[in-house]
Amino acid sequence: MSLETRAQGWRTLAALQQRIETKIEKALQDHHDLSVNEFCLLHHLSVPGGPSTRMQHLAEMLVLSQSATTRLVTRLENRGLVKRVLSAEDRRGIYAEATESGRELHDRAVPTHNEALEAALREAEGLPELTPLVSALETLALKVQPLSGLEAQP
């Protein structure tokens, strides 16, 4: 397979991705006043066992810069959804954790996210050219099931 072919597939996937993310963004914004990044941050802090995560770790998971993460946490902190906890051992480190109302908002937002995704996928399947792509995503979701979190490479 040529590089060009793969690149063409990649750009098509990126466009589809963008379209679906836009739909999810609007749904989350309309119903809960949350951006996708804000939702993902709450998701990481609400779901996993360790409810307390370092700023830099959040930046890696969300694929954001440090500064964007700082302000993302600040925004949610100002809304009382997240709180900063200073680390005792390493006083440079700051942990973010979800508050009770943060977890509540997350629980309400999860169905919105999932239903918007379902709707977007169904819609995308309607376009004949995208059908194989969408069905590949379905397979993909199966395979990724046991994934715990994303780590960045150095």
Partner DNA sequence: CTCCAAAAGTTGCACACGCATGTAGTTGCA
Partner DNA sequence: TGCAACTACATGCGTGTGCAACTTTTGGAG
Choose from its own copies, DNA, none: what does 37 bind? Cβ within 5-8 Å by kind. DNA
The answer to whether 130 and 124 have CB atoms below 8 angstroms apart is yes
Nearer to its own copies, 94 or 119 (CB): 119
DSSP state of 128: G
Size of the site for its own copies (CB under 8 A): 55
The continuous run of DSSP H or E covering 101 comes out as helix 100-126
| Coil/strand/helix, residue 82 | strand
Residues in the chain, total: 154
The answer to whether 9 and 43 have CB atoms below 8 angstroms apart is no
Residue of 31, 117, 119, 125 that binds its own copies (CB under 8 A) = 117
With binding defined as CB under 8 A, does residue 59 bind its own copies? no
The answer to whether 113 and 39 have CB atoms below 8 angstroms apart is yes
Tell me the window of 55-63, 76-84, 86-94, 96-104 that interacts with its own copies (CB under 8 A).
Answer: 55-63
Place of tokens 């999860």: 110
Catalog residues that contact its own copies under the rule CB under 8 A.
Answer: 1, 3-22, 40, 43, 61-63, 110, 113-115, 117-118, 123, 126-127, 129-130, 132-133, 136-145, 147-148, 150-153
Catalog residues that contact DNA under the rule CB under 7 A.
Answer: 22, 26, 35, 37, 54-56, 63-75, 84, 87, 90-95
